[in-house]
Structure 1
Amino acid sequence: MSWLPGVLQRRFLEARMRKGVTAVALAAVMVVTAACGGGGGGSEPGRTEITVNIVPFTPNAVLFLGMEKGMFDERGITLELQNAASPVPVVASLVAGQADFGFVTTPVLINANREGTAIKCVAPIDGQISADRDASALVAAAGSGIDSLDDLSGKSVAVVQLASINLIGAKKMIEDAGSRGTEYIAMPFPQMPQALADGRVDAAVITSPYLETALADGAVALAHPSSDLFPNGTVYCYAATAQYLAENAAVAQGFHDAMEEAILYAKDHEDEALATLVEHLDLTPEQAKAQVIPTNYVPEINLDSIAAIQDLMAQQGSIPSTVNPADLVWQPGGGSS
């Protein structure tokens, strides 16, 4: 466990998901690690400084690669990164004007818009989720005696937040397997390997680079909810508020185009993308090389998958109303789909 990124451990705070994004917006701003203003204040002439709020994990390697290769710089954009524990405080930072773009999962995107907070996907994180390789998994603790999904009745499962893509996918797969009475506990990713090892939770939906630690400690992989349920889908994206996009269309276009270029470049240079994790996620070169970027490298938002995720949320009773998926995606040239 000693290799876990010390910087991330300090920056991550325990974050429990309240019932809605709007209800936590003001409090969640406190989770953001840096209170920097967005919108390009203090930029050099002809350049725009933007703040991007991320949840540090392996797929961010594509963004890091785009930064290192000058793909944003050549479009007159300078990036500053902030870290957050989960997508909910990211939304809060966007609404508060402390970040311009940020990492959100599709359920958080849907909930925010359903509750009146207009944010839109601008670019994929790394492409679409790969059908045959995933950087996240539902794992059972070593020595728990759990070796299949139907063993999770009455057990506890850690998820990063209580309205996450991880919860929605895990809940469907666990219930489809016949398990009932499973308890879901909100927990930041960096805390999950130790919680599994200590027996504080029976299972967890965990992502790289923390997944590898859990597996090395003997955790047993049971399923890969995101890739199993939503192959070639959009389960997360970089988003911005509708207001920011209306006022900064040219910047949004540049960010979108730089991410598209970075995704396509990373497809043929994945080793370079993984190498960026040494600096940005505080991994060793060996650890970085072993990571999985769970993408098909298609630089497009999959609207059908957003609709499918929303349908599943409605079926599970986690949302009382729905939104038009097309309204959740910004299109180059302005507007929604």
Structure 2
Amino acid sequence: MRTGLKVTALAAVVAMAAACGSDDGDSTASGGGSDGELTEVTVNIVPFSPNAVLFLAMEKGMFEERGIKVNLERAASPIPVVASLVADQAQFGFVTTPVLINANREGTAIKCVSAIDGQVSPDRDSSALVAAKDSGIDSLDDLEGKSVAVVQLASINLIGAKKLIEDAGATGTEYVALPFPQMPQALADGRVDAAVITSPYVEQAVEAGAVTLANPSSDLFPGGTIYCYAATASYLEENAEVAEGFAAAMEEAILYTKDHEDEAKATLVENLELTEEQAQAQILPSNFDPEINLESIGEIQDLMEEQGSIDSTVDPADLVWKP
């Protein structure tokens, strides 16, 4: 199995980022000018449907109202996002709870600043564990000795899938790191037997015949915080006012989206290059509660320890920024 790579891979990427940190004089990480200029920040995202709330906040001017101009950068998974934060190439970035925990365990102090779209809704999910068409797999116990694609080997998707698969009695499952956009084709080609895949790519896989087996996030962590926009502790200490504005804009956008979900989904046409029909068919897996759920972060850490992926823990309260 390849899961043993996850912590060391994170540490190596972050160390490289620290060694190669930005020294080009880019001022986007600092405060704005004295003449009403906006403070520019880069937000590093992993493209998926819940980013619709961030896109909506940008479109509605919620950041600009707080003196912030957001620039977007994209990454394949949260680990390179952490590297970009450490290297000062981004000020805020998408991380999953396991990556947040591992980074802090390895000495990289990053903290959740805001939710992405809210907490996990117990009755709807934008990600799923699916089996390839014609694979003969129609239940979790059929994954005995099979290969399952996850976006990275330190992901919330791996932890959730592993828990459900092992609870079903299946053993010997191999977990393979693969970017979300590549998963539908990998399933169709038979290169993997199953995948934990998120919107908008899960819809492509299901339309091609993939079979949904479970929804790990909502099955295991209803009402939980499984991802967030984070920043380094050093950036937060030096730019508390910017961070407060960022968090306030995201909170406003999350609460607004609760009653205007169609508007949020419409932003996916331009930002994720979906058709209008595809955009409106997306699921935002949120209860639209903007609070970070500390208890769920602790539960996820406990599960990581139980699975043997970590041998020490951190205080969940240290992982969330408080102004």
Matched, 1:329 2:293: no
Q: Render the CA deviation track for 1:117-173: whole Å, top value 9, x for unaligned.
A: 000000000000110000000000000000000000000000000010000000000
Q: In the alignment, is residue 140 of structure 1 matched against residue 139 of structure 2? A: no
Map 1:79-228 to 2 at 5 A: 79-228=70-219
Offset at 1:40?
A: 3.8
Aligned position for 1:7? none
Alignment match of 1:67 (pick from 49, 54, 58): 58
1:247-262 equivalent positions in 2, closer than 5 A = 247-262=238-253
**Residue of structure 1 equivalent to 2:270:** 279
Gaps of 5+ in 1: 1-15, 30-34
Q: Tell me how far apart the structure 1 counterparts of residues 32 and 61 of structure 2 sit (CA, whole Å).
A: 20
| In 1, Cα distance between equivalents of 2:287 and 2:207 | 26
Give the direction of change, closer, same or farther, for the CA distance of 1:18–1:43 in structure 2 (3 Å limit): farther
Q: TM-score, normalised by structure 1?
A: 0.90
Aligned equivalent of 2:35: 45
List structure 1 runs of 4+ shifted beyond 4 angstroms: 26-29, 41-44
Equivalent residue in structure 1 for 2:302, among 293, 296, 311: 311
Match of 1:21?
A: 10
Aligned equivalents of 1:45, 1:249: Cα separation in 2: 20
Deviations, residues 309-333 of structure 1 (Å, cap 9, x unaligned): 00000000000100000000001xx
The equivalent of 2:21 in structure 1 is: none
Give the % identical residues: 74
Alignment of 1:299 with 2:279, yes or no, is no
Whole-angstrom CA distance in 2 between matches of 1:199 and 1:28: 35
Counterpart pick for 1:288 among 270, 274, 279: 279
Q: Does the 8 Å CA contact 2:17/2:87 hold for their aligned counterparts?
A: no
Matching residue's letter, 1:21? L
Q: 2:69 pairs with 75, 78, 85, which one?
A: 78
| Counterpart AA for 1:60 | N
Q: Determine the C-alpha separation between the residues in 2 that align with 1:154 and 1:256.
A: 43
For 2:230, what is the secondary structure of its paired residue?
strand
The AA in structure 2 aligned to 1:49 is E
Residue deviations 1:3-37 (CA, integer Å, cap 9, x gap)? xxxxxxxxxxxxx85624221225579xxxxx976
**1:164 maps to amino acid:** S
Contact 2:31–2:239, Cα closer than 8 Å, also in 1: no
Q: How many residues align?
A: 312
Question: How far does residue 233 in structure 1 lie from its aligned partner after superposition?
Answer: 0.2
| Alpha-carbon distance in structure 2 between the residues aligned to 1:301 and 1:37 | 29
Q: TM-score, normalised to structure 2's length?
A: 0.94
Secondary structure of the structure 1 residue equivalent to 2:8: coil
Q: Which amino acid aligns with 2:10?
A: V
Give the SS at the match of 1:233: coil
Given that 2:112 and 2:319 are in contact with CA atoms closer than 8 Å, whether structure 1 keeps it comes out as yes
